[in-house]
Chain A
Amino acid sequence: MNMIAELGRFFISLAGKLGRAGLFLKDSFYWLLKGKWEKEEIMKQMVRVGVQSLPVVTLTSLFTGMVLALQSGLSSKNIFNEPLYVGTLVSLSMVLELGPVLTSIVVAGRVGASIAAEIGTMRVTEQIDALYMLGVHPISYLSVPRFLACIFMVPVLVIYADSLGILGGLFVCLTKLGIPARVYWDDILPYLDMIEVMHGVVKSFFFGAIIFWVSCYNGFFTKGGAEGVGRSTTMTVVVSMVLILLSDYFLGSFLISIGIG
């Protein structure tokens, strides 16, 4: 009996959270469309999400491209006695999947966590209430700039990560596998169309929206002082990563079904 009651409580709480998250998203769109944008704050968030994520995105994408080239080159060497289609494998893997997913996960860990911690701290120290009293709606001031920054900067980071991953692959081909640059590019260009790039970029746009939604929601609904801020931060990273990975499959299959990718 207790187990059923616990299960009931869990689902009631889950329904409440989903409802609040839905209303939060609706309010964010309302203030986004209302158009009273805080330009300075938007620029600040763009720099935070985009420019300040460059070092970590550079490292992850470069080394991902390098290891992809190394593993695929050595595997095909073992099977076919020569490294075949390394460029094709590296470029398609980066552009379709690894670029968008890895970059979004890195941004969720770096930026999402800091957004949740910042807004959560503002909530528990009454700074969000102070915004109301100073003539600003907190969703318009805090949420809208972060939404715009996430949906625009994550795709830009993904295009950057795709390019670096492909260059990382080229570096390994030249230094480890003995594949000339011309062969590497010849393996890429006939198979990589704009439509593949679009597939990854469209997905990353949604991943950016997920990072915004989860981090801002957790920040705004933080309760219980420093402990609550810690809980919101952890929840943001875990939930964003799970949602990115789950939605990747469904978004991927949907985009393929409509001919994108």
Chain B
Amino acid sequence: MIGLTSPILWYTARASGIVTLLLFTLVMAMGIMTATRVGGAPLPRFAVAELHRRLSLIAVIFLALHIAASVIDTYVHISVVAIFVPFASAYKPLWVALGTISLDLILAITLTSLFRQRINHEAWRAIHWLSYLAWPIALIHSIFIGTDVRFGWMDLFVAGCVAIVVASAIWRIWANPHPDGALTAVPDRTTPKTARSAKRAPRVPQQRAAQTSTPIASSSRPKRPPQ
């Protein structure tokens, strides 16, 4: 194989990797905002969902660029097989493997979402939840594979990404009730745009109905009708 290497490839691989991480961080945040029904006057809810979808496609493009640059560059030995199969890389097998696993998950999520109308909804949802696995794996891949970790700004950047996703996730679970069963909550009765829904369980608190005074006789002896 002809050696093909150049600083341009190397910088492209690193830069596109960082941009990909940033984009997927934003995609995670937008996904959480979609689930929590954020949206209203300047940006309707469907637009939040649409942004989430389009941003994820842009992220995938940058991911493709990142992978291409990394594999084409012969300065480090990462085979084409290693793109899809974890631990097949000669270069930093563990950290590349994390990237590979993350890619496999992202591929599953992206493909099922592109064909969302045609596949079973529960299956789509189950695979979509894997994003909560894909993102941290990608993050760890970024931190440990990079030769840029010695730079302080990289620390700041990673911290920023973590902050965005963790804050969004915490908000989703604790502060913002949603219908996936995390909380049974009192519905917001202001306007339809901000009303949220909490379902899957009967509404709490249940008020006890007034006690009865005349229970039905337990003997229930049948009687003869008047002749």
Do A and B originate from a single complex? no
Residues on B facing A (Cβ under 8 Å): none
Chain A interface (Cβ < 8 Å from any Cβ of B): none
